Amino acid sequence: MTRGRLAPTPTGYLHVGHARTFALAAARAASGTLIYRTEDLDAGRCRPEFAAAAIEDLRWLGLKWTEGPDVGGPHAPYVQSLRLPWFREVWSLLQVTGTIYPCDKSRKDVERSLTAPHAEDDAEPIFPPALRPPLGAGREAREPGPTNWRFRVPDGETITFIDALQGPQAFVAGRDFGDFLVWRKDGFPAYELAVVADDHAMGITEVVRGADLLLSTARQILLYRALGWTQPTWAHAPLVVDADGKRLAKRTAGLSIRELRQKGKTPEAVLTASLDQLLR
Ligand code: GLU
């Protein structure tokens, strides 16, 4: 039985791109269970009013979930900022495997790691292996403490997976992505750890999200492997782009679900009409 999920980050109003990806996620889980999880770890950018608006907008679109912050469920809480004890536990599980190490890097890298690295933002330079500490560094730590932690990727190994929508994928560790942050020195997990921890804890069997997170999937597969957890199947939806081919997230004026609704557009139009039609 499929367990799918919607995992919005409440940094703004959801737009037509979100609407379409989430509708697809809901459709693919239609014969199973759909879970709603608010990913609000970035306290500086997330706001409760956006979290509430996302729920309202997705309900208006006709999406229905059986577990979530507004309806509860066996895996509550469904809000990441309330799940820190679990994330710390997963840090400990990783720590035992010897795959992570403490790392002192720039503040910018840390800020970037808070939210999912959607493709264009994923210009993070590959972490130079020369800056890695020796193997075993930090092994004695029992708590993450006020330090960043990175996952040591297996250089040169090709990480492959079959995406249900995009077909076969291959990313080379150390070339396409480097050692990535799993924990931040301010006491919060980085996106890659939090999303894997929660998808596993909530029994997610299929992850549906935008194609701009394909590279993150390679990182996440390494976390599943290190933790000895079964990975879900993956389905990355094509991104909605504007007439210039720009990802919608960069230009959402007039295209948030709320604005379209206020303009009298129907849920069906939001989900299927061309952007030109929607902007008219
Ligand atoms: N909260 C993440 C985002 O909005 C979700 C990414 C994911 O589905 O894994 O980008």
Where are the chain's structural domains?
1-82+241-280, 83-200+216-227
> What are residue 25's phi and psi, to 5 degrees?
-60, -40
pLDDT, residue 130, reads 80
Report the range of poorest mean pLDDT among 56-70, 112-126, 252-266: 112-126
The confidence score (pLDDT) of residue 250 equals 66
pLDDT digits (tens, 9 = 90+) for 48-105: 999 999 999 999 999 999 999 999 999 999 999 999 999 999 999 999 999 999 998 6
Using DSSP, state whether 126 is helix, strand or coil.
coil
Helix, coil or strand: residue 101: strand
Please name the fold of domain 83-200+216-227: Rossmann fold (3.40.50)
Picking from 119, 109, 140, the residue whose alpha carbon sits closest to that of residue 246 is 119
Asked if the model's pLDDT at residue 107 lies above 90, the reply is no
Please say whether the dihedral angle defined by the alpha carbons of residues 127, 128, 129 and 131, taken in this order, is positive or negative.
negative
Start-to-end CA span in the chain (Å): 41
How much distance in Å is there from the Cα of 195 to the middle of ligand 1?
Answer: 8
Pocket test for ligand 1, best of 78, 195, 221 (most atoms within 8 A of CB): 195
In this structure, which residue's CA is closest to atom 10 in ligand 1?
116
Q: What is the pLDDT of residue 166?
A: 98
Query: Is 250 part of the annotated catalytic residue set?
Result: yes
Q: In the prediction, which pLDDT does 124 show?
A: 66
pLDDT at 248: 78
Q: What is the pTM of this model?
A: 0.93
Within a 10 A sphere around the Cβ of 244, how many other Cβ atoms?
Answer: 7
- CATH architecture type of domain 1-82+241-280: 3-Layer(aba) Sandwich (3.40)
The whole-number pLDDT of residue 117 equals 74
- Nearest ligand 1 atom to alpha carbon 18: 4
pLDDT score at 181: 93
Whether the domain at 1-82+241-280 and the domain at 83-200+216-227 fall into the same CATH topology:
yes
- Catalytic residue (one of 108, 250, 263, 265): 250
C-alpha 92 to ligand 1 mean position (Å): 23
